[in-house]
Structure 1
Amino acid sequence: MNSKNIPIFISIIVLLQLVVLFIIQPEINLWEDHNMAVSLLQTGDAFCYNDGQPNHSFVFPVYYGVVFFVYKIFGIVPIYVAALHLIFNGATAFFAYKAAVFFIETNSLIDKIFFARDKIASVLACSVLFHPFIFWYSFANVHPFAFDMFFFYACLFFTTVYFRNKTMLNLLIFAVVYGLAVLDRPTLMVCVIPFLLLSFKYMETNKIILNFSVISILSIMIIAPYLIRNYHTDKIFGFNSNTGKILWKGVLYNSEGSNYLKNGKNYYAALGSKDFGLLINLSVKDQNKFFMNKYIEIWKEDPFQVIKMYLVKLKNFWWFRENIGNEYSQAIQTFIPLYKIMYGGMLLFAVFFCMFSSKGIFFLVSAPIALSLFQSFFYVETRHRIIIEPILIFLAILGLFLLRHKLSILKNNYN
């Protein structure tokens, strides 16, 4: 499949997925972002109820803002949001393909093991389009996952656009996309790392300083209004009012650093009855402080627990927690054993390729590694890794061809 056919191929797949969506009419799972969009539409004020209080800063604004406009145009019909997810996935697949092409062009090892560059680059696009869990999150949920993934690969793509043609316009485009990515999900601030690595490789210090000044200023201009709004509505300093909660639930005893304890119960089971009585009467600001104090208390009393849980979460990012899938239907859970086997093989071959690759590998793997390290400070669920699984699949395919190449060399030497 050559580069000219990729947009056509992606468009056909997205169109088929849209047809399936509107024929099947799946039951759409609604999350807090749906509630924020509906409240904004009906009252002019974006909020959802959490822990007994109207919370204006519970989730990040980019996704629920888009959902609001979809509902404004089509009415509160979630299937149109799912349709938008599939369209965004098409754009994500294109961005991923272009990032793969750039990586292939700058990695001499690939020339030795694979001659059809366009074909191997298309693996990354197909991994986005056909990954079953990516499709499920997009197809059956009003959830920001598709947007998180879109911005992750958009940052990679516009990094390549800039380094192919270092103009101020391309720099400004990257800066805007990056600022929106951070506003969409703050952990995506790691997406600047590939840009930084290529800057040190191809640019002088003065140019690097200028570029990162532009990126920083534009990003702050995009982010600052929402931070001001959060303080005005909920007296919260930060992106949302959940910082204390997600830090606390990520270090709980008898847990895996996710939304669930080892016994399968929700993290709220770690609270006492008195805690619930106190919590529902607190303001949003004080609720955040309530959970932050519990997190700090664990730090003071048992810092080893916090460090241990960081490592547990890091392991769970790259592997699996014991209770994976307990919040999903039985039908989805039946696929998990097969998913574990396939993921294990994929990870093995991806690591194999990385071991023999040049420093250019860091263009693709630096952001995923940084994302895992950053996310593990908070809490970790499998969906946090699924965003970067298309990259792992791509690297695993390269690893298979590299293994074949090395085995052929051994065979020739033996003969």
Structure 2
Amino acid sequence: MSIKKQVITGVKWTTFSTVIMAVTQILRISILTRYLDKSDFGLIAIVTFVMSFMDLFNDMGLTSAILYKKDISAKEYASLYWLNLLVSILMYILVLIISPFISEFYNQPLLKVLVPLLSLNLIISAIGRQFKTIENKNLLFKNVSIVELSGVIVAFIIAVIMAVRGYGVYSLVYPTIIQYLVVNLTFLLIGLKKYGLLIHFELKETKPFLRIGGYQVGGQIFNYLNRDLDILLIGNLFSAEVLGGYSLAKQLVFRPAQIINPILTKVASPALAKFQDNIELLKINYLKLINIVSNVNILVYVGIMVFSPLLVKIMYGNGFEDIVVLVRILSVYMILRAIGNPVGSLVAATGRTDLEFYWNFITLFIMPLFIYVGSKLGIVEVTISLDIAMIILFVPNWKLLINKLTGATLQEYLRAIFTVNMTMIKSLVNYLIKIPART
């Protein structure tokens, strides 16, 4: 099968699975808000922040390194696998040590239990992550989609049952752990059958991958802090209830981009890597990707701004009207963030994770400043400060990353963002409408 056909097939399967998984997760949160308190979601937001931060070290950037490197031997794969598993265990031990301090920082005793419990996923994810990456590298997106979809559906059913039966905050925890188990054990079984796994380890075999992954980890850490430092600050400066409301608003706003962008970026990373030796083709295909991402996200988020009161009521029920203004302001932030999101595929495809590292290091001095100033004024001002920071960073982001890696001028980049591709939008909408009928 040609690369073009593999990409088209990948987009179809990724679209199908991403939409179904997102709708399932939206329903899950919508149902759970009827049974849980805002403070429960605030606690989980803190736990998720900690776990996701630790998971950045857990991966060590090896996913991007594996996608970029060609002709990886079975021995190299084995060394990478066992190293990743060892690091995952060490990360979990570190979580156990710091959990009491996290609980004290937020003055939430329950975090002593919730943080170690949900962080079990650090070890669970290491079991199957590499085999999932290999499937993606080989453009076998159908297999990946089916496995991930299965995990989400199982977690949804368990979460609803637990919430209805009064398990409270634990109905947000145990289903997530089970989801990780289902997905990663399945990838492990698939991987062992298709690719095998040697009982072999040589540290020197991992060094070329770690050099690429090291910059990736550093860049992701800075990017993660830039993206989610608001949760850390709000959790400390405001009540758990305020954090819960803000977290729900942010989840609602983030969800469309989490549906739209992965459909394309999951396929884009391995696909763009095929053009890493031809900068002109790389530029052309990346600008096409930006055009699609921009068109769809702008359309969706303008709709969210207009219909946010209705969306909040449908999603969360009564008593959440105060987060409507947060949803509207965060929609502007997400348009800008969604447009910049595909650059991750570009740096992975070119192996220039060092540029992403430097960029995220620079922004680490800017985003927290705006967030901190906003948090001193109020929760609404935090969201406004995020918009302002993203606007200021737009042109520097193009110069350091897009222009450097593809040679695209600012005019070409802006044209790709704002040229309306009505045929593409119509095709995507029609495709999404047809998905239920096909299933």
Instruction: Tell me which interval the TM-score lies in, with the shorter structure as reference length.
Output: under 0.3
Query: Could you state the TM-score of these two structures normalised by the residue count of structure 1?
Result: 0.26
Higher relative contact order (CA 8 A, sep 6+): 2
Could you say which structure has the higher helix fraction?
2
Larger Rg: 1
Query: Could you state the TM-score of these two structures normalised by the residue count of structure 2?
Result: 0.25
